[in-house]
Structure 1
Amino acid sequence: MIRMEEKQPAGVHCFSLENRRKAVITGVQDIHSFNENEVLLFSEAGKILLKGEQLHVRNLNLEKGEAEVEGRVDSLSYLTKNAHKKDESILKRMFR
């Protein structure tokens, strides 16, 4: 008997955090960037920014829409489309 793994229904997003050390996110569409202090990913709910220390993307399965991040999570932010524009300097915005 062949068992096919189930995908999450479109539009479903979930975030769980265990002891600030292990984050499991569903509804993940892609990871934009990551380093040991930040992980920026795209999800069904929009952009998500995780900040912390010694962050590591331990597991990523885009077919299932799942990601697992380990390390010390200090904050989680859902970003709007214009969120990065506030953080950019005036010179960067002027010389695009």
Structure 2
Amino acid sequence: MSELQKKQKQQDVKLTNRKLLELTGVTKVESFDNQLFLLNTELGMLTVTGHNLHMKHLSLEQGLVAIEGSIQSLAYSDGASANKGKGLLGKLFR
């Protein structure tokens, strides 16, 4: 693998029937509940919203996350998290 390939950030997103979301390139799970997941990825902060969401699979060592439920939206924010600068309570009580 070349030095350029090592530095390139990559992420795969697979959404099946709006019921199963499989992601690669996840570096950290910031927070989650049954309606919202906040994930740090190699390409920025990813917000996943929906209903009855739950984590089916998690392997941060491999950067893999699978979320099941009724997926409504995926939204990226570049760079720092929209919650940066907020404390734990600020993240929990938006």
Compute the TM-score of the two structures, normalised by the length of structure 2.
Answer: 0.75
Match of 2:28 among 27, 30, 45: 30
Aligned pairs, number: 79
**2-structure distance, mates of 1:57, 1:47:** 17
Larger radius of gyration: 1
Give the C-alpha shift of residue 39 in structure 1.
0.4
Once the two structures are TM-superposed, the CA of residue 83 in structure 1 deviates from its matched residue by 3.8
Structure 2: which 5+ runs fail to align? Answer: 1-5, 85-89
> Is 2:8 the partner of 1:13?
no
User: Are the equivalent residues in 1 in contact too, given 2:45–2:81 (CA < 8 A)?
Assistant: no
Where do 1:57-72 residues align within 5 Å?
A: 57-72=55-70
Residue in 1 that maps onto 2:72: 74
Distance (Å, rounded) in 2 between the aligned partners of 1:84 and 1:77: 14
RMSD of aligned alpha carbons: 2.1
Q: 1:12–1:50: structure 2 CA closer, same or farther, 3 Å change rule?
A: same
CA 25–82 in structure 1, closer or farther in 2 if over 3 Å, else same: closer
Amino acid at match of 2:28: D
